[in-house]
Amino acid sequence: MGACSNGGSNHASPWMEDRRLWKHVHDNVHGNIYLDPLSLKFIDTEQFQRQASGFEATCFVIFIFISTGLSHMVYPGAVHSRFEHSLGVYWLAGNAVEKLKAHQGLELDIDYSDIQTVKLAGLLHDVGHGPFSHLFEREFLPQVIQGSKWSHEEMSLNLIDYMVDEHNIDIDSGRLKKVKDMIIASSKNAPVKSSKEKLFLYDIVANGRNGIDVDKFDYIVRDSRACGLGCNFQFERLLDTMQVIDNEICYRAKEYLTVHKLFSTRADLHRTVYTHAKVKAIELMFVDALVKADNHLLISSFIHDPSQYWKLDDSVLKTIETDDADELKESRDLIRRIRRRDLYQFCNEITVPKDKLDHFKHVTPQDIICSQKSGGISLREEDIAVSNVKIDLTKGTNNPLESIHFFEDYNSKDKFSICKDQISHLLPEYNQDMLVRVYSKNPQLVEVVSEAFENFQLKMYGVKTQVHSTPERKRRRVLL
């Protein structure tokens, strides 16, 4: 597996009912993945299989749509489906809970039902994603539905209920509820759990306590590998050394650097892949195309009904490209520009100063226009695109290590936190970046937009803070 090693042992559960009912598939990250009969009932539905129809890859060379969205349009090898990722999370979730049972079985009272529930949560955690991953809910929907609070996690819950009813899947209602609670465990809408429950099970797939979960384990390794990037984060060490103390998964203190690498590798992927300047240019264009097509294709109307929503996938791109309707002309033209690499032109980016972050407001095209000096070409909002990109370790400006509990050795039941200064003085003083990138939708306006953006920086921050300026060959272009 190159720099990123295989995850987990390739063995089926010791609690198999009938091995003949199980199936296995070979995954290029984790090796053989064994699928239990109940999971297969969900996998063998058109709703789950929908995840295999779209581009997915690294969050995130010009189009990366699944875990990474449109990144594969910049990293050509970064193409995999959310289907593969879901199987990977299913497998790692099973490995995690089985390791806990092996190490603390009598103490934790983990049974086969617990294992299957956690695995199902891993399998189904992303089933509610829209076309082109997070771009759909974070960029497209807010532009066509004012104040949209729609989330793919909530749709996952609705879609799971629909799948159970539509395909008469025999699953205990109590187990089904736990599966859904595990999926939204990291969200603001996560239900409050009783201290009598096995709360540690809710930390495995979507960890709302500290952000360490098998969802990250899979996509970090899968995306790094797909993009040809090095990956020195070894999640196996965390799986092998974790221990439950006071109903919480804790980690051996000697693995504190492995924990930090999890978050720093994630941040590196966001900076170099998921939010690559060209990837964001393509995403801006694609969102514009979806917004312009929405009145005709009614894309946003699908989000309220699971029976219709599951039919919405990445094929909407081909629909826009091939439909000759006059109402789709602007959208068609944008998609064709993407295909021909006639992209919105990157002008400049800034990293917002730390002392401005607490009161930062998203920069808009209007902000840039208001900073244009009088005379010459007058910019319009439709000439400019702005991308506000937040990159953090996973807890905003807070150090994620502060939310994690460690233990000294396996004989100890005392848990403790490790502060940053105890680890290394090389770790960042601040744990979040806010990048503002400005693009010209018209290649001939790059110089005008760049100058207006520089004026905006002087007005807001007193200095021009961009790391690299617009190349001269682009700045010399003038409107004909």
Nearest to 52 by CA among 28, 83, 78: 83
d(CA 64, CA 69): 4
Helix/strand/coil for 332:
helix
Which stretches of 340-427 are DSSP H helices?
365-370
For 122, the token pair is 């891993």
Per the annotation, the verdict on 276 as an active-site residue is no
Instruction: Count CA atoms within 13 Å of residue 294 on its CB side.
Output: 18
Tokens linked to 63 = 């189009």
* 30, 125, 152, 260: the active-site residue: 152
Alpha-carbon dihedral angle through residues 172, 178, 180, 181, given to the nearest 10 degrees: 160
- Write out the DSSP string of 61-120: -----SSSSSGGGTSTT----HHHHHHHHHHHHHHHHHHHHHHHHHHHT--HHHHHHHHH
Q: Given phi > 0 = left and psi -120 to 50 = alpha, else beta, which region is 462? A: left
| Run of H or E residues at 371 | none
Radius of gyration of the chain (CA): 24
CA angle 340/345/348 to nearest 5° reads 155
Grouping H, G, I as helix, E, B as strand and the rest as coil, residue 370 is helix
Q: Say if residues 119 and 93 touch (Cβ distance below 8 Å).
A: yes
Q: Using the CB atoms, write b or e for 54-90: b if 16+ within 10 Å.
A: bbbbbbbbbbbbbbbbbbbbbbbebbbbbbbbbbbbb
Catalytic machinery residues: 152
